[in-house]
Amino acid sequence: MESGAYGASLAGGSFDLLGFVKQPQTVVRLLSWLCAIVVFATITAEGYVNTDKDPQEKCMFNTNDSACSYAVGIGVLAFLACVAFLVLDVYLHQTSNAKERKMIVMADLIFSGAWTFLWFVCFCLLANQWSHTIETDHFPADAARAAIAFSFFSIACWAVLAYFSLLRYQQGVTELSSSYTDPAQDHSTPYPPQGYQQSPFGQNQMPGGTEYTPPNY
């Protein structure tokens, strides 16, 4: 297997932490992690408030608890996924198994694509519910706008992560295909091209070229 398949060019070598942190994919993943923290932490800390008319705490997004729950759920899962994929990115540089690399890259691609869509839904939901919120003076407007803004930033971050994963996958497929040799086109000779050698026991001749004659009794 190629040691550089699926973007793991350092597989089996010493791990360069500084070089890993400077990689574009690592930077974007850390930004995604930060955006997820802002979204779910903001809503958890300030997203539920009570008013003079209703002492029970309600979601600041048009008192729609489902909107807050959805955003918090997506944010928490995105936060955990970023941590998990950072660990897998480190492991990707240490393993020399191309099959494991392929599984990690495919999982990253699928999850990043799915979370790009889910963050888009989250952004649309929060923006729509906030636009329909009445009496915004009773709610922390800055917190609501921050949650909406970082939901939008998360769309871009996860879309970029999906793009990087797609490039990794295509790179791995290309490198493995280039290293594969079709047996039908392999014209190498499995045995050395030597001529036929006569068996040493085919004809027994006496020294001097005379044929052996058995004695008569």
pLDDT at position 3: 42
pLDDT given for residue 10 in this prediction: 47
Residue 214 lies in a domain: no
Residue 144: per-residue pLDDT:
94
Averages of pLDDT over runs of 10 residues in the chain (217 residues) are 49 72 94 97 92 80 93 98 94 82 93 98 96 82 95 98 93 65 52 54 53 62
Domain count, the chain: 1
Q: Which amino acid is at 14?
A: S
Token pair recorded at residue 56:
């029970």
- Among 153, 147, 161, smallest CA distance to 70 is for 147
Q: Is there a domain that residue 32 lies in?
A: yes
195, part of any domain: no
Within a domain: residue 100? Answer: yes
Q: How far apart are CA 181 and CA 81, in angstroms?
A: 38
* Host domain of residue 109: 23-47+57-177
Residue 129 lies in a domain: yes
Residue 217: which residues within 8 A CB-CB, separation 6 or more?
none
Q: Is residue 202 part of a domain?
A: no
Query: Would you say 85 and 164 are in contact if contact means Cβ atoms under 8 Å apart?
Result: no
Q: According to the model, what pLDDT value does residue 197 have?
A: 56
User: Residue 12 falls within a domain, yes or no?
Assistant: no
Residue 121 within a domain: yes
